[in-house]
Amino acid sequence: MPTIYDVARAAGVTAATVSVALSGRGVVNRKTRERIIECAQELGYRPNLVARSLTMRRTHTIGLVIHDIANPFYAEVALAVEQIAQRAGYRVIFANTTGDSRLGEELIEDLAARQVDGIIAMPGGLRADAVRAIAATGLPIVPCLWDEEPNVGLKHSVGVNFGAGGRLVADHLLDLGHRHIGIVAIGTPDEPTMRAREATFRDRLAERGCPIDMALWQWADGSLERGHGAAHNLLAVARPLTAIYATNDVMALGVLAAARERGRHVPDDLSVVGFDDIGMSRFLTPPLTTVRIEKTALMAAATDLLLRLIAGEEVTAPPPLLPSLIPRDSTAPPGRQSATEGR
Amino acid sequence: MPTIYDVARAAGVTAATVSVALSGRGVVNRKTRERIIECAQELGYRPNLVARSLTMRRTHTIGLVIHDIANPFYAEVALAVEQIAQRAGYRVIFANTTGDSRLGEELIEDLAARQVDGIIAMPGGLRADAVRAIAATGLPIVPCLWDEEPNVGLKHSVGVNFGAGGRLVADHLLDLGHRHIGIVAIGTPDEPTMRAREATFRDRLAERGCPIDMALWQWADGSLERGHGAAHNLLAVARPLTAIYATNDVMALGVLAAARERGRHVPDDLSVVGFDDIGMSRFLTPPLTTVRIEKTALMAAATDLLLRLIAGEEVTAPPPLLPSLIPRDSTAPPGRQSATEGR
DNA sequence: CTGAAAGCGCTAACAA
DNA sequence: TTGTTAGCGCTTTCAG
């Protein structure tokens, strides 16, 4: 690979001049510039961006730390981030934690060592204090869509009022007339903290005189497979159950599958509601009632925020957005009097 | 950020010694090493990986160029690549072309300028000659899962026998007794080249005495939305039609939705088969019959291949794998004599 | 308008 | 075992 020195020699000038000529920063004689450009082209010169990064202390790279990109929710997030970054001349390194917060910490440290200009930190496999530690370093980092600790105690973050979403679901189901509601939540039985979207749901149910039966509370890890399994557990329980709230769409997809496998027709025999509104939700059978998170808009805003932060602009993070419930065909008033078991 | 010099000063040694001590490459006195490590920790020293990259001529970064990561197929691919890379200490920069080959070329050039150690090139928004041009540069690049030009004329690539897949679909449908088959293919009417999975399907149909009715041939861009729209077009045509082959699962999902919207029951009134076997396909309603591409295994192999190439090992690319048809519930013998229109 | 010189942070010979 | 020196490829004053 030819360096700037090679083209300098070819053009009969010095490296500094080539640098200036090629970047169009300073002023260079028209003819010399042309000669330089020509030589560069001929030699197939391509700037070494890591050398430039070293000098400039800017890599034009950002890091995106997510749970796992195979989850459509994060995939959509990643697309939004990359598109905004790309247009600004930034590239993005993505790293999957798969829920391992030990790994998450390593990854985030590595990104910092690689001198990324900033980081977008999604929840799952990243502890708040690790994020704070990085932030304390001065590295711009914006936490996005964190359930607990919406802003991670940081000045810049972009969030959503997940609690409001949980309430919307409770109201929707209650209004339809459901009284026997199961939930497939993300988390583990032993972990004491509960995410807002689950907590407010439970609280609202109690508030409206229909406290949830904890035998109908299932924990899962957010994956399709686990959501599917949890739904089977729920449907196997010999109790009335007319609706299931899966706290993300991917698990809701698993719930729909389990319902079908057990001969439960959705929504006649069972209502299902999800959370997130991933792209495919409206195409499912039946189209899924869910809580919409404006992922794309939010992540675009988050990325823009990060880029401005990097540029040293004085910016202020947008306030948490209110999610909205999108009623589709997977929910309906309870039909056949609380079927207990499909098959 | 403290540099290696700061640590050196603190420990009363020289930078070179710190470098050696911290990397554990050379031999350093036990006590000095300990002192150095201690100082490093105290100062919160973190190596500057771009400086290291400049010296070592190795960034431990690879590029992944894909169509768009929001497509579950590519998301699964990306996960596999990242996981293998991660374990080897590599990070991955992903770049979406969204089908724009002009952009694809820029991205690939930029990755090269950033000195990535290698590139995984997926089809869609990347022209074969652009890939070849980069390869000619000496930058390791492995094309994966390209439909046309399986190996892009390169020595190292990983592929699949897509043609065999198309044939499997044709045989499956024909064997079930279907004679009126529609197709939702990826491409555009004007583009002369057809991908293997479509071409062999068409040819096999003809071979077995059931040439496809070109009025039942729809082109789409591979997205859920377009697949959905194309299916509606197909179902609106006043012709017998008992099965639809969507040449990727994402579009097949759109076909299932369209069928439902038109009151066509799958598989009783309409059989649907996809291609790829993305993770959610077996959870759809009904579970989708499809051609399985072992994405994860293949991409893991591809990434491993790339890493070895980077390491300068003498490697040989695996031969194209044969895909297999996974029969699920979305296909069945044609039922009600070729319904023409559902509603 | 162009060149000389220094420096970004790290590693690698080679000496001491 | 540790230090000296040079260099990776580029940018940026500061002179000329």
- Is B72 part of the contact surface with chain A (CB cutoff 8 Å)? yes
What's phi and psi for A93, nearest 5 deg?
-95, 125
Range scoring the smallest mean pLDDT among A99-113, A147-161, A316-330, B328-342: B328-342
Q: Please check the confidence at residue B340 and state whether its pLDDT lies above 60.
A: no
CB B209 within 8 A of CB B203: no
Residue numbers of A between 103 and 122 with CB closer than 8 Å to B = 107, 109-115
Same domain, B312 and B187: no
Q: Please state, rounded to an integer, the average pLDDT across all residues of chain B.
A: 94
A window 190-249, beta carbon within 8 A of B? 224, 228
Contact, A27 CB vs strand D, < 7 Å: no
Residue B148 has what pLDDT? 79
What torsion do the CA atoms of A8, A11, A14, A16 make, to the nearest 10 degrees? -70
- Position A143 scores a pLDDT of 97
Give pLDDT, residue B194: 87
pLDDT band at B342 (very low <50, low <70, confident <90, very high): very low
Contact A78 B69 (CB under 8 A): yes
Structure-token pair, residue A136: 């304390």
Statement to judge: residues A42 and A22 lie in one domain: yes
pLDDT at A19: 95
Q: Which A residues in the span 122-181 are in contact with B, Cβ-Cβ below 8 Å?
A: 137
Q: How confident is the model at residue B338 (pLDDT cuts 50, 70, 90)?
A: very low
Structure token digits, residue A320: 């948490």
Residue contact A69–B54, C-beta within 8 A: no
pLDDT for B341 beyond 60: no
Query: Which bases of chain C are under 7 A from a protein CB atom?
Result: 1-5, 7-13
Q: How far apart are CA B292 and CA A105, in angstroms?
A: 36
Tell whether A193 and A270 lie within a shared domain: yes
- Minimal C-alpha gap between B267 and chain A (Å): 14
Rounded CA gap, B236 and B216, in Å? 11
Q: Which residues of B29-52 are buried (b: 16+ CB within 10 A; e: fewer)?
A: eeebbebbbebbeebebbebbbbb
Number of domains chain A contains: 3
Give the residue carrying structure tokens 């807002």.
A196
Contacts of A257 (CB under 8 A, 6+ apart): A228, A231, B283, B284, B285, B287
Residues B49 and B71 both lie in one domain: no
* One domain, residues A172 and A273: yes
pLDDT of residue B337: 41
Answer yes or no: is pLDDT of A273 > 70. yes
Kindly report the CATH number assigned to the domain that includes residue A16: 1.10.260.40
Tell me the two tokens of residue B119: 């590139």
Cβ distance of B54 and A50 shorter than 8 Å? yes
Nearest-neighbour CA in chain B from A271: distance (Å): 15
Which pLDDT tens digit goes with each residue over B12-41? 999 999 999 998 887 889 999 999 999 999
Distance CA A164, CA B150 (A): 50
CB contact under 8 Å between A91 and B68, yes or no, is: no
Q: Per residue in B163-201, pLDDT tens?
A: 999 999 999 999 999 999 999 999 988 877 789 999 999
DSSP H/E element including A66 = strand A61-66
What is the mean pLDDT of the segment spanning A60-71? Answer: 98
A312 and A299 inside one domain: yes
Give the gap in angstroms from C-alpha B285 to the nearest C-alpha of chain A: 6
B34-47: pLDDT as tens digits: 999 999 999 999 99
Which chain A residues are within 8 Å of B48, Cβ to Cβ? 54, 113, 115
Element (H, E) at B129: helix B128-136
Q: Is 80 exceeded by the pLDDT of residue A159?
A: yes
Q: Does A91 touch chain B (CB under 8 A)?
A: yes
Q: Is A203 exposed, middle or buried (0-12, 13-18, 19+ CB in 10 A)?
A: middle
The string of DSSP codes covering B218-259 is EEE-S-HHHHHHHHHHHHHSSS---EEEESSHHHHHHHHHHH
The Cα–Cα gap between A103 and A126 comes to 8
- Which residues 241-260 in chain B show a CB within 8 A of chain A? 253-254, 256-257, 260
Share of chain A above pLDDT 70, in %: 98
- H helices of A219-294, in order, are 224-236, 249-261
- As a whole number of angstroms, the distance between CA A323 and CA A80 comes to 18
Q: Confirm if A217 and A231 have CB atoms less than 8 A apart.
A: no
CATH of residue A251's domain is 3.40.50.2300
Distance CA A267, CA A271 (A): 5
What pLDDT was estimated at residue B238?
73
Burial of B112-149, coded b for 16+ CB within 10 Å and e otherwise, reads bebbbbbbbbbbbbbebebbbbbbeeebbbbbbbbbeb
Going by pLDDT thresholds of 50, 70 and 90, the confidence category of residue A337 is very low
- How many angstroms separate the CA atoms of B113 and B93, rounded? 13
Q: Which residue has the tokens 């932030």?
A: A135
Residue A340: the pLDDT is: 42
Q: Whole-model pTM above 0.85?
A: yes
Of B1, B59, B253, the CB nearest to A280: B253
Say yes or no to pLDDT of B151 above 90.
no
Distance CA A289, CA A286 (A): 9
* Residue ranges making up the domain that contains B279: 162-288+328-341
Q: How many CB pairs under 8 A join A and B?
A: 140
pLDDT value at position A239? 81
The whole-number pLDDT of residue A127 equals 95
Note the pLDDT tens digit of each residue in B105-130: 999 999 999 999 999 999 999 999 99
Handedness of CA A223, A227, A228, A230 (dihedral sign): positive
User: What is the DSSP code string of B89-102?
Assistant: T-EEEEEE-TT-HH
- Closest nucleotide to A45 by C1' from CA: D9
Residue A342 clears pLDDT 50, i.e. is over it: no
* 3 state DSSP class of A269: coil
Q: What is the pLDDT of residue A336?
A: 53
- Looking up tokens 């690539």 gives B157
The 3-class SS string of A131-146 reads HHHHHHCCCCEEEECC
A286/A265 Cα distance (integer angstroms): 10
- Asked whether the beta carbons of A307 and A90 are under 8 A apart, the reply is yes
Distance from residue B26's CA to nucleotide D3's C1', rounded to whole Å: 14
- Give the separation between CA A4 and CA A15, rounded to whole angstroms: 6
Q: Which residue of B has its CA nearest to A80?
A: B70
Q: Look-up: residue for tokens 């995410």?
A: A195
C-beta neighbour count of B325 within 10 angstroms: 20
pLDDT in tens, A175-219: 999 999 999 999 988 877 789 999 999 999 999 999 999 999 999
* pLDDT surpassing 70 at residue B51: yes
CB atoms within 10 A of CB B194: 17
Whether residue B238 is found in the same domain as residue B132: no
Give the protein-side footprint of strand C (Cβ within 7 Å): A 12-17, 20, 26-29, 31-33, 51, 54-55, 57; B 1, 3-5, 15-16, 19-20, 22-23, 25, 45, 47-48, 51-52, 54-56
Of residues B226 and B148, which shows the higher confidence score?
Answer: B226
Statement: residue A341 has pLDDT above 60? no
Instruction: Decide which of A37, A56, A75 is a domain's last residue.
Output: A56
Asked if B269 and B201 sit in the same domain, the reply is: yes
pLDDT band at B232 (very low <50, low <70, confident <90, very high): very high
Shared domain for A191 and A335, answered yes or no, is yes
B332 and B198 co-located in one domain: yes
The position carrying tokens 């497509």 is B71
A22 strand D contact, CB < 7 Å:
yes
Local structure of A181: helix, strand or coil = strand
pLDDT value of position B190: 83
Question: d(Cα A235, Cα A343) in Å, to the nearest integer?
Answer: 10
Taking a C-beta distance cutoff of 8 angstroms, is the pair B335, B264 a contact?
no
Say yes or no: A104 and A247 in one domain: no
> Mind telling me how many Å the CA of B209 is from chain A's nearest CA?
35
Measure the CA–CA gap between B190 and B97, rounded to whole angstroms: 21
Looking at beta carbons, which residues of chain B come within 8 Å of A82? 69, 94-96
A176, A68: one domain: no
Q: What is the mean pLDDT of residues A297-311?
A: 98
**By the CB < 8 Å criterion, does B82 face chain A?**
yes
Lowest mean pLDDT among A7-16, A144-153, A325-334, B210-219: A144-153
The rounded Cα B86 to chain-centroid distance in angstroms is 18
